[in-house]
Amino acid sequence: MLLQDSFNETSQDILNSSLSLFKKSLLLKQVYENYLYYRSRSPISKENKLLLENIFQKKPWLNTKEREFVAKSCGMSALQVRVWFINKRMRTKIK
């Protein structure tokens, strides 16, 4: 909810400013596009999840080169792969 609050506050600041209507509309559009970009989460496809699960069973810790290779083969970023492995290790630790 913090992102939405920030979006609302920024939008109000723009609307209350002394800028021209045209500049306000451009700024609001940029703020809204940024809000949508950071709000959205793209789910991992079933194929990618299966691949990540198989790799995790063989090797739960990846080095940088392995992480980048897996990321390229899955069409994900290395950071997404890293976070997925961190979360998976925590989930298996809890069980």
The mean of the pLDDT values for the chain is 89
pLDDT band at 40; cut points 50, 70, 90: low
Q: Which two tokens stand for residue 15?
A: 């609307």
Whether 32 and 68 map to the same domain: the answer is: no
- Tell me, what's the pLDDT at 83? 93
Tens-digit pLDDT profile for residues 8-35: 888 889 999 999 999 999 998 988 888 7
| Arithmetic mean of pLDDT, 31-50 | 83
50 shares a domain with 35: no
Based on the fold, state whether residues 59 and 24 are members of the same structural domain: no
Domain containing residue 82: 46-94
Same domain, yes or no: 51 and 25? no
If asked whether residues 15 and 52 sit together in one domain, one would say no
Mean pLDDT is lowest, of 23-32, 35-44, 74-83, for 35-44
What's the CATH code of the domain at 74? 1.10.10.60
How far apart (Å, rounded) are the C-alpha atoms in residues 54 and 28?
Answer: 44
Chain centroid, CA 58 distance in Å: 26
On whether both 89 and 53 belong to a single domain, the answer is: yes
**Same domain, yes or no: 54 and 35:** no
Residue 52 in contact with residue 70, Cβ under 8 Å?
yes
Whether the pLDDT of residue 1 is over 60: the answer is: no
Tell me: do 67 and 29 sit in the same domain.
no
In this predicted structure, what is the pLDDT of residue 43? 84
Rounded-to-integer distance, Cα 59 and Cα 88, Å: 12
- What is the tally of structural domains in the chain? 2
Distance (Å, whole) CA 94 – CA 15: 48
Give the largest Cα separation in the chain, rounded: 60
